[in-house]
Amino acid sequence: MLCSGAGTTIALTLGAMDSSSSYSELVVDHTTIALLVVDERQRLHFLNSAAEMLLGVSAKKAVGLLLTEIVDIRCEMAEGLQRIMETNHPYTEREVELRLPGGEKIIVDCTLSPLLWQQQGQRTVVELQRMDQQLRLMNEEHLLNQTQASADLLRGLAHEIKNPLGGLRGAAQLLESELNDRSLREYTEVIIGEADRLQLLLDRMLGPNRPPQLRETNIHELLERVRTLVMVEAGDAPLQIQRDYDPSIPDLVADGNLLIQALLNIVRNAAQSLKNSGEIRLRTRIRRQVTIGHNHHRLVCSLEIEDNGPGISEELQKSIFLPMVTGRAEGTGLGLSIAQSIIHRHGGVIECQSNPEKTIFTLLIPLEE
């Protein structure tokens, strides 16, 4: 069956009505644009996978229901649907706000096209393309380039400081061995101690210095290790770390030690923001059809670290993944930039949402088939 959509022609099959067109069915199910078909009473007749994902409802459940029973549409879209029935002309409305069943508001570009197939009454194809995601992708790319440039600069600098620092430490050690007066050794010990501290900082600035060792890794085992570590660090403080895991998530192909380092940096930040008294929630889910950078993934592991701390100011949120950006007096501002670079090395990304009630860091890591 053919329908016109956004100026093009889209091959579309409606379930069992055309079983020979499994190829077009596959195409429709692989597009990232949400496609729905409604009749003149706005009753749903078809949803592709992207529409199921966007609206959070299965086609099985939704077919037969009214569009308004699934999603709260703004009157412009409802009017558009009415108009198309009368005029038979395609119609596009930009940046339409929809409220999803869970209460989440999303911004979509919406194209309505009459279906050129009218054996069983008039049908309209509704194409929904999320625009907030496009904006997210642009921001993500900008951030990625910015983070990469700062990290490269910093790595170069760290590398240059490391060599003379080694020389200074060696000279102080030699001097120490020549000193007969024990009281003077106090000074060389300060030099050696401070050189070691700087060395550790430089090593962190240089980041992981080996290629990731990829193997099948259970994400929940890693989270449990991080949880135990942070609980131990909190000691007797009333910190709570709740778990909300989806046990059906398959193993990731990843470097477990690097992922622990990334997770630890984020969970530690959450514990620090809570001053070890509050709640952290670790949530894992599978997400489908996610675009990270320029790559589209059918299946992605989503890992959320949520805390009910004071949140991150809007100003700080803009640069939080850049190295040396910190909001803590004793912070070095390296934790999140290291975590981001580790997750990038796994083809993923870390996102952050924060308000004065809660902060959520979301790690998206592709699950390759």
* Residues of the shown chain interacting with ligand ATP in the complex, contacts defined by CB under 6 A: 265, 269-270, 273, 307, 309, 312, 320, 325-328, 331-337, 359
For ligand ATP, give the closer residue by CB, 24 or 326.
Answer: 326
The residues near 169 (Cβ < 8 Å, ≥ 6 apart) are 191, 192, 195, 196, 199
List the single partner that 111 binds among ligand ATP, Mg ion, none, CB under 5 to 8 Å by kind: none
Taking CB under 5 A as the binding criterion, the range among 68-76, 96-104, 332-340, 341-349 that sits at the site for Mg ion is 332-340
Q: How far is the CB of 155 from ligand ATP (least distance, A)?
A: 15
* By CB under 5 A, residue 323 contacts Mg ion: no
Can you tell me the distance from the alpha carbon of 121 to that of 236, in angstroms, rounded to the nearest whole number? 68
> Taking CB positions, which residue lies at the least distance from Mg ion?
335
* By CB under 5 A, residue 278 contacts Mg ion: no
For Mg ion, give the closer residue by CB, 278 or 335.
Answer: 335
List the single partner that 208 binds among Mg ion, ligand ATP, none, CB under 5 to 8 Å by kind: none
For ligand ATP, give the closer residue by CB, 51 or 263.
Answer: 263
For Mg ion, give the closer residue by CB, 158 or 262.
Answer: 262
For ligand ATP, give the closer residue by CB, 147 or 273.
Answer: 273
List the single partner that 332 binds among Mg ion, ligand ATP, none, CB under 5 to 8 Å by kind: ligand ATP
Count Cβ neighbours within 10 Å for each residue of 325-344 and write b for 16 or more, e otherwise: beeeeeeeebbbbbbbbbbb
Q: How far is the CB of 154 from ligand ATP (least distance, A)?
A: 12
Q: How far is the CB of 317 from ligand ATP (least distance, A)?
A: 9
Q: Which helix (H) or strand (E) element contains residue 105?
A: strand 105-114
Contact (Cβ atoms closer than 8 angstroms) between residue 177 and residue 129:
no
The residue type at 21? S
List the single partner that 289 binds among ligand ATP, Mg ion, none, CB under 5 to 8 Å by kind: none
Among 49, 113, 188, 269, binds Mg ion (CB under 5 A): 269
Tokens (6 digits) for 238: 């009333």
Q: How far is the CB of 287 from ligand ATP (least distance, A)?
A: 21
- For 299-343, what is the HEC assignment? EEEEEEEEECCCCCCHHHHCCCCCCCCCCCCCCCCCHHHHHHHHH
For ligand ATP, give the closer residue by CB, 207 or 366.
Answer: 207
SS3 284: strand
Angle separating helix axes 256-273 and 335-345, nearest 10 degrees? 150
List the single partner that 334 binds among Mg ion, ligand ATP, none, CB under 5 to 8 Å by kind: ligand ATP
List the single partner that 127 binds among Mg ion, ligand ATP, none, CB under 5 to 8 Å by kind: none
Contact (Cβ atoms closer than 8 angstroms) between residue 223 and residue 245:
yes
Q: How far is the CB of 336 from Mg ion (least distance, A)?
A: 6
Radius of gyration for the chain, computed over Cα atoms and rounded to the nearest angstrom: 27
List the single partner that 85 binds among ligand ATP, Mg ion, none, CB under 5 to 8 Å by kind: none
Taking CB under 5 A as the binding criterion, the range among 43-51, 65-73, 191-199, 334-342 that sits at the site for Mg ion is 334-342
List the single partner that 273 binds among ligand ATP, Mg ion, none, CB under 5 to 8 Å by kind: ligand ATP
The residue type at 364? L
* By CB under 5 A, residue 335 contacts Mg ion: yes
Can you tell me the distance from the alpha carbon of 34 to that of 64, in angstroms, rounded to the nearest whole number? 18
The residue type at 288? R
Count Cβ neighbours within 10 Å for each residue of 271-300 and write b for 16 or more, e otherwise: bbbbebebbbbbbbeeeebbbbeeeebeeb
The residues near 200 (Cβ < 8 Å, ≥ 6 apart) are none
For ligand ATP, give the closer residue by CB, 47 or 264.
Answer: 264
Taking CB under 5 A as the binding criterion, the range among 150-158, 217-225, 329-337, 355-363 that sits at the site for Mg ion is 329-337
Q: Say if strands 215-217 and 239-244 run parallel, antiparallel, or are unpaired.
A: unpaired
Please name which of 241, 225, 262, 245 lies closest in space to residue 308, comparing C-alpha atoms. 241
Using CB under 5 A as the criterion, which residues of the chain lie in contact with Mg ion when the complex forms?
269, 335
